[in-house]
A and B are shown apart, each in its own frame.
Chain A
Amino acid sequence: GEDVEQSLFLSVREGDSSVINCTYTDSSSTYLYWYKQEPGAGLQLLTYIFSNMDMKQDQRLTVLLNKKDKHLSLRIADTQTGDSAIYFCAEGGLTGGGNKLTFGTGTQLKVEL
């Protein structure tokens, strides 16, 4: 079955870059996603990348995809205290006409002053 793995914690200083990594197993994934969860809230989509792309940039966010190694990363430039949250990587595949998302365990990002 599908499996998505992430490291549990990351701590960075404000202004530095953060890199959150993710590995997945399902090579048939069509899209790969990054979601952000702030305390007490639901998940919010940050960005996604189509599986035939290597890189996607969106303002301070850069997503890199190595399809051969099934490795996905999210880089946050100039990390701010407001970026402190849990970040989930997810893979999506078409199953029976629907899009089933499989989430990783989440990486808790702590931004220190």
Chain B
Amino acid sequence: DARVTQTPRHKVTEMGQEVTMRCQPILGHNTVFWYRQTMMQGLELLAYFRNRAPLDDSGMPKDRFSAEMPDATLATLKIQPSEPRDSAVYFCASGLGANTEAFFGQGTRLTVV
């Protein structure tokens, strides 16, 4: 069945290391979102893409975060260097068209120690 797939599901890393999170959107979806969820801030939109082009990444710390879509089947979110305050669950979601349901992946739980 169609679903958004995120890898890895869990990641523990040391401060200063590079972290790459991957997302495979539902085939045919042309909009991809990256959200970060923490207890303190709730769900924050980091970036989103439409037809692989970044539309808004204003929610993302530019100095250490980068988001790309190398092709229509893969979206990546990279943190370099990682910091303990980046610890959160990162969700990818995909959708189709100007206004449709956003389908969420299971998330990547990142812990930076």
Q: What is the interface of chain A, defined by CB distance below 8 A to chain B?
A: 30-31, 40-45, 48, 88, 92, 94-106
Which residues of the other chain, A, contact B1 by a CB distance below 8 angstroms? none
Q: Give which listed residue, B31, B42, B99, B106, contacts A41 with CB less than 8 A.
A: B106
Q: Is B43 an interface residue (CB 8 A)?
A: yes
B8 shortest CB reach to chain A, Å: 15
Q: Give which listed residue, A45, A88, A92, A102, contacts B99 with CB less than 8 A.
A: A92
B104 touches A100 (CB 8 A): no
Q: Which stretch from B48-56, B71-79, B80-88 is at the chain A interface?
A: B48-56
Which residues of the other chain, A, contact B45 by a CB distance below 8 angstroms? 100-103
Number of A-B contacts (CB under 8 A): 64
B106 touches A99 (CB 8 A): no
Q: What is the interface of chain B, defined by CB distance below 8 A to chain A?
A: 4, 31, 33, 35, 42-43, 45, 48-50, 55-56, 91, 93, 95, 97-107
Q: Give which listed residue, B43, B99, B102, B106, contacts A94 with CB less than 8 A.
A: B99
A29 shortest CB reach to chain B, Å: 10
A42 touches B99 (CB 8 A): no
B102 touches A45 (CB 8 A): yes
A52 shortest CB reach to chain B, Å: 13
Which residues of the other chain, B, contact A94 by a CB distance below 8 angstroms? 98-99
B39 shortest CB reach to chain A, Å: 10
23 inter-chain pairs at a CB distance below 8 angstroms, sorted by A residue, are A30-B99, A31-B99, A40-B106, A41-B106, A41-B107, A42-B91, A42-B93, A43-B91, A43-B93, A43-B102, A45-B102, A45-B103, A94-B98, A96-B56, A97-B55, A97-B98, A98-B49, A99-B95, A99-B100, A100-B48, A101-B45, A105-B42, A106-B42
Q: Give which listed residue, B35, B43, B99, B107, contacts A99 with CB less than 8 A.
A: B99
Which residues of the other chain, B, contact A101 by a CB distance below 8 angstroms? 33, 45, 102
A98 touches B42 (CB 8 A): no
A97 touches B107 (CB 8 A): no
